[in-house]
Amino acid sequence: MAISPARAAACEILLKVERDRSFSDELLHAERFNKLSSIDHGLTTDLVRGVLRWRSRLAEWAAEASSQKLERLDPEVLVALLLGVYQLKFLTRVPARAAIFESVELVKAARKRSAASFVNAVLRKVAAGDGAAGTQPARDLFAAIEASPDPIALARNSAHPEWLVTRWIRCYGLAATRQICIHDQHVPKTSIHVCEDEALDLLARDGVKLGQGRLVSFARTVVSGDITRTGVYLGRRVAIQDEGSQLVALLVGRGNRILDCCAAPGGKASLMARRNPGALVLACELHVHRALLLRKLVRMPNVRTVIADARSLPFSLGFDRILADVPCSGTGTLARNPEIKWRLKPEDLGDLQKRQIAILKSGLAQLVAGGQLVYSTCSMEREENEDVVEAVLDGSSDFTLVDCGTELARLEREGEISAGGIETLVDGPWLRTIPGIHPCDGFFGAVIRRK
């Protein structure tokens, strides 16, 4: 009996995430895995994201049933083991014998045959619920998250690093942090923006059912169907983009010369270009391969791609609208990128902040008088958000902070965002969306105007 294509692909992707620090989302959409059937690709995605979301709990269950310390296992053995535990605990439609057998076969295929009996024994214990390994069914985890009284319990039950949960509680409170953690452990909704109106009819013909966006008026959410297999999606007539990301692009407003400092993969640049058809949109990207991807994905005729370092922008012409959506920790996107929470360390935030400050200063230098810059991240961390803006504006008399609430009210009047609830999107002068509280990823935004 051969290993199923879905499990083989999931194992390969998880090993690349582990060894090469690759990102699961990019790997899942890589050309190499396009040959998978829609059903197999769906199972591969479930396995990869599920193992990454629940990694610490899966390791705990495995360790309770194991006679060896997991940190001593070869990566191939550990990945096969965690894949098996995830299926046994979370995928009730998968027979236990199939989950165990294929995990053992994955170990053999990786030329780790000596570990096959070990993986078999551990998974059989987990399946039988022997000892501590079976004391908490996966279906009870969300109830445990909602009842978690402190950072230690909440981090353990929700499979999040304790240091991250502790700082979120300090910043957002225990109740909101529970909702963030619950959101992170669910499959997020797929949101799109439509590049051409007729694309909606074509998607319906392809069996894709859409719902109305809850935050951005022209956004749509995928209710059912595989949008990535449709001609409309492959032809770049719709783009997958979180509603929070779309909101940040809307916040930039309208202008004649627009600069996107860190543009790849191009979702925000494309949206800004479509809203400003008569404007020049300059899309900057530091890395050549990402710039090539940007050119491939963004088809708007008024977008120009430039390879440049956003920390030292080389332009002489000024811009009346600028977006500085800077590289960040991505802690607002853990539902989509769960591997981030296992890689990120507290000390990383300081290094990111230095780069973010440099990009913001460089972007502001390109702003004409009266022009506006939107600084944004998909991070939940203050070091990357308020602290960056305040550090750059401290002592400056050339720039002023614009209240995001005023800009959101304008978008509401223009019908571009849903009516009502603006007050929940602002925190002082800042835009802030919180996963689990708002129907999108976690984003921060600040609007800065040159006097």
Q: Which CATH code for domain 243-450?
A: 3.40.50.150
Contact 372, 399 (CB under 8 A): no
Eight-state DSSP code of residue 4: P
Write the pLDDT tens digit of every residue in 382-422.
999 999 999 999 988 999 999 999 999 999 999 999 878 88
* Residue 181 falls in the annotated catalytic set: no
Going 414 to 418 to 423 to 424, the CA torsion angle's sign is negative
Q: Which of 284, 378, 404, 440 is catalytic?
A: 378
Q: Supply the DSSP string of 322-371, one letter for each residue.
A: EEEE-----GGGTTT-TTHHHH--TTHHHHHHHHHHHHHHHHHTTEEEEE
Fold agreement (191-240, 243-450):
no
Q: Give residue 130's pLDDT.
A: 52
Write the pLDDT tens digit of every residue in 215-252.
999 999 999 998 988 999 888 888 899 999 999 999 99
CATH superfamily of 5-134: NusB-like (1.10.940.10)
Domain extents in the chain: 5-134, 138-184, 191-240, 243-450
CATH class of segment(s) 191-240: alpha beta
Residue among 243, 230, 269 nearest 374 (CA): 269
Whether 154 shows a pLDDT value over 90: the answer reads yes
pTM of the model: 0.94
